[in-house]
Amino acid sequence: MEVKIGVQHAPREIVLESGQSVQDVERMVAEALAGKSQMLSLEDERGRKVLVPADRLAYVEIGEPTVRKVGFGTL
């Protein structure tokens, strides 16, 4: 699943592919925003961690990745 994270005062969003479930990501975001943790910590499909300070979260978009078509179409 694709996760996009908007960070306050940052010109670009963070985009990662995660193997975590939608419910897990929602729970971690809610906990970070509720003050239960100071950082939002997510792991991508390669095992890398992304840490974002909870007080800097602007938005989190959770969804299926868009399929990019590559190649030429026939007429």
CATH number, residue 56? 2.30.30
Indicate whether 66 pLDDT > 90. no
Number of domains in the chain: 1
Indicate whether 56 pLDDT > 90. yes
Tokens of 70: 């590559």
pLDDT in tens, 10-21: 999 999 999 888
Rounded distance, CA 71 to CA 44, Å?
Answer: 28
Nearest to 14 by CA among 22, 24, 4, 23: 4
Angle at 26 between CA 67 and CA 62, to 5 degrees: 15
pLDDT at position 71 is: 67
> Which domain range does residue 34 map to?
2-63
Tokens of 71: 């190649």
Record the pTM. 0.78
Give the pLDDT band of residue 57 (cuts 50, 70, 90): very high
Indicate whether 40 pLDDT > 70. yes
CA 8 to chain centre: 14
